[in-house]
Amino acid sequence: MNKPVPLDKPWLGPISWEPISNLPEFIRTVDDGIKDAEEQAAVIRQAVENPHLFKGFPLPKMIELHKDQRDILAVYRRQIEQWRTGPLSMEQHLDLAYFESHCIRLDALLSFSLDKLEQLRNKLAKSGRPVSPRR
């Protein structure tokens, strides 16, 4: 029996493979994701170092967001495998290698942030401060 797909997480449903011509858009999406993840990691690092300054930090929402982004990256990895099965030009090979390396970079940033968010959750739990509820 198949699990129902949550309406807010379409990437968990059946995958429609994209044509290689859409690779530039995927690259832009991941590059933008890296910029956002770097900014978020800096804020999260500050929150871990100074949890008293981050009262009301939306911790559960941040954790869920980072996990969702990692789920999407898993779909991107499957898309990369799908593209590799077809004939590719030299430029497409290079773009695909670039895209794959940036997916790895984004995954590392998200993993780092998730680890720091768990550290923050533990610090807040030990201090007796409530963790803000989901929004």
Q: What is the pTM of this model?
A: 0.82
Helix and strand counts by DSSP (H, E) for the chain:
3, 0
Tens of pLDDT along 108-123? 999 999 999 999 988 8
Indicate whether 7 belongs to any domain: no
Residue 66 has pLDDT above 90, yes or no: yes
- Token couple for 57: 């930090």
Indicate whether 110 belongs to any domain: yes
Q: How many CA atoms lie within 13 A of 62 on its CB side?
A: 24
- The count of other CB atoms within 10 Å of the CB of residue 44 is 24
Indicate whether 74 belongs to any domain: yes
Indicate whether 57 belongs to any domain: no
Report how far residue 114's alpha carbon sits from residue 129's, in angstroms, rounded to the nearest whole number: 20
Indicate whether 5 belongs to any domain: no
Q: What does each C-alpha distance from 71 to 31, 92, 103, 120 come to in angstroms?
A: 17, 24, 12, 22
Report how far residue 53's alpha carbon sits from residue 48's, in angstroms, rounded to the nearest whole number: 10
Q: How many CA atoms lie within 13 A of 63 on its CB side?
A: 15
Amino acid at 38: E
Q: Which residues span the domain enclosing 69?
A: 62-128
- Predicted confidence at residue 6, as pLDDT, reads 58
**Into how many domains does the chain fold?**
1
Indicate whether 103 belongs to any domain: yes
Indicate whether 133 belongs to any domain: no
pLDDT confidence band for 127 (50 / 70 / 90): confident
- Token couple for 61: 């929402």
Indicate whether 75 belongs to any domain: yes
